[in-house]
Structure 1
Amino acid sequence: MPETKSNECFSISLEDISSKIPDDGINIRDFLDLMGDRGGLIICLILATPFLIPVSIPGSSIPFGLGIMFIGISRIFNRYLIPKFIMEYVLPKDTLLKILNGTMTALGKVEKYIKPRFLVLSKGPAISRFSLSLMVFTSFLLMLPLPVPLTDSLPGYSIFFLVLGILEHDGYFILAGYILTSITTIYFSLIFLFGYAGITFVLSHFGIYMPQF
């Protein structure tokens, strides 16, 4: 699974890809081919986007989380280990265009800040596998069916920053991904330990008020 570096802005690349999606949608296998050498990680970026912005795709956390998880595992072992049912999962064109537009919006806000730096966190097989392992872990958290606020968005942001950092060798974005993963892990741990009512009560003592539902 070779990786090449491109100076082309992601948002421009995604805009071009949007025009190539068939009217009847596209499966993950064909989408990987369409995305090119870095397709796996770029797909992870795209699949994480609906959990960052208000793009409503009911029931998406499990299939999207599974896709991110198996792509991450494939990157760790440097060969595709993605089950056939995921590779053949079809993304409808209208849904995919909404996600791509959301991804381009999110990237437009951050891509001017992305550049190769703090390479101690962005290069080398051991640190890359560690970062990918965190991505796999947060994709697992994303799939958990918890009817609690932030249980989609926190893993989504963790994955988004980790993937951007890995793709562009930006150690600062990877570090942000580490921090977000830590916050996500603490949040989920508190939910499992105390329940949502408990975590709301505990955080309120620190001046942090969670949304009610």
Structure 2
Amino acid sequence: MSTEQFSLKEAILVVKKKSDPNGLYVVDIITTFGARSHAFLVLFFCLPFIQPLPMMGLSTVFGGIIILLSTFMALEKSPWLPKKFMSKHIKHNLVVSSCDALIKLLSKTEKLIKPRFNFWLKLPPVRIFNAFSIAFFAFLLALPLPIPFSNSVPAYFMVLNAIGLLEDDGVLILVSYVIAIAGLLFFASLGMGATEFIDWFRLKIGI
């Protein structure tokens, strides 16, 4: 059953109910959300990274998956993932905890997040730009950096952006772009700091 006509909160409840004790297939999420499954999968795979400590290894795998999803989002194609992954079970406890966290978040923000200022979201240039932005921040998420917030900063942008897409909220999409600019400044400062450290180290050892 597709839930494209349901609210995000209602669709999440459907996903939660579909999860049996063995878990949930990734393909079940795609079947449930239909055309909106790209954004929900991006949201689902970003949730583990909203805490400040980096999760190297896992972030590289999930970042690569999100890049693939964003490609199909840009092309307006149904999401495709390798067959081995599509048939993979997501653990029941992870499904339930993730769905509960999302429902709790949406319950607190449901008066703030709603369909609005969305006439521009369906424009092809906007869709492509947004998908590229998700892919770029997924790449940043995938970087194996042992630095606090190096996972969470890209995740904040992608979580807000995905919720904005799922709820058809143009204002929230714009807010996510503000977070994206802050994220770019964060990674630029990391790059500048790394460059200065390398220069200092080379000077110390006389290279």
Same fold per TM (> 0.5)?
yes
Q: Which residue of 2 aligns with 1:193?
A: 192
Measure the CA separation in 2 of the matches of 1:55 and 1:105: 22
**Higher relative contact order (Cα pairs below 8 Å, separated by 6+ residues):** 2
Q: Distance in 2 between matches of 1:130 and 1:56?
A: 27
> Counterpart in 1 of 2:108?
109
Cα offset for 1:125?
1.4
Q: CA RMSD in A?
A: 2.9
TM-score, with structure 1 as normaliser: 0.78
Moved more, 43-52 or 142-151: 43-52
1:67 to 65, 68, 71: 65
Check the 8 A contact 2:42/2:66 in 1, yes or no.
Answer: yes
Once the two structures are superposed, the pairs formed by residues 8-157 of structure 1 within 5 Å of their partners are 8-52=6-50, 59-79=57-77, 80-119=79-118, 121-157=120-156
Q: Distance in 2 between matches of 1:90 and 1:197?
A: 45
Q: In 1, are the aligned partners of 2:11 and 2:32 still within 8 Å (CA)?
A: no
The one-letter amino acid paired with 1:78 is E
Q: Distance in 2 between matches of 1:193 and 1:73?
A: 30
Distance 1:193 1:64 in 2: 26
How far off is 1:148 after superposition? 0.8
1:55–1:32 CA distance, 2 compared to 1 (3 A):
farther
| Aligned-residue offset at 1:137 | 1.0
Deviates more, 1:130-139 or 1:61-70: 61-70
Distance 1:55 1:189, change over 3 A: closer
**Offset, 1:85:** 4.3
Identity of aligned residues (%): 26
Any unmatched runs of 5+ in structure 1?
199-213
Specify the alignment match of 2:200 in structure 1.
none
User: How many pairs align?
Assistant: 195
Quick check: 2:3–2:32 contact (8 Å CA) kept in 1?
Answer: no
Q: CA deviation at 1:75?
A: 1.1
Hey, what's the Cα distance between the residues in 1 that align with 2:58 and 2:101? Answer: 15
* TM-score w.r.t. length of structure 2: 0.80
1:36 offset after TM fit, Å? 3.5
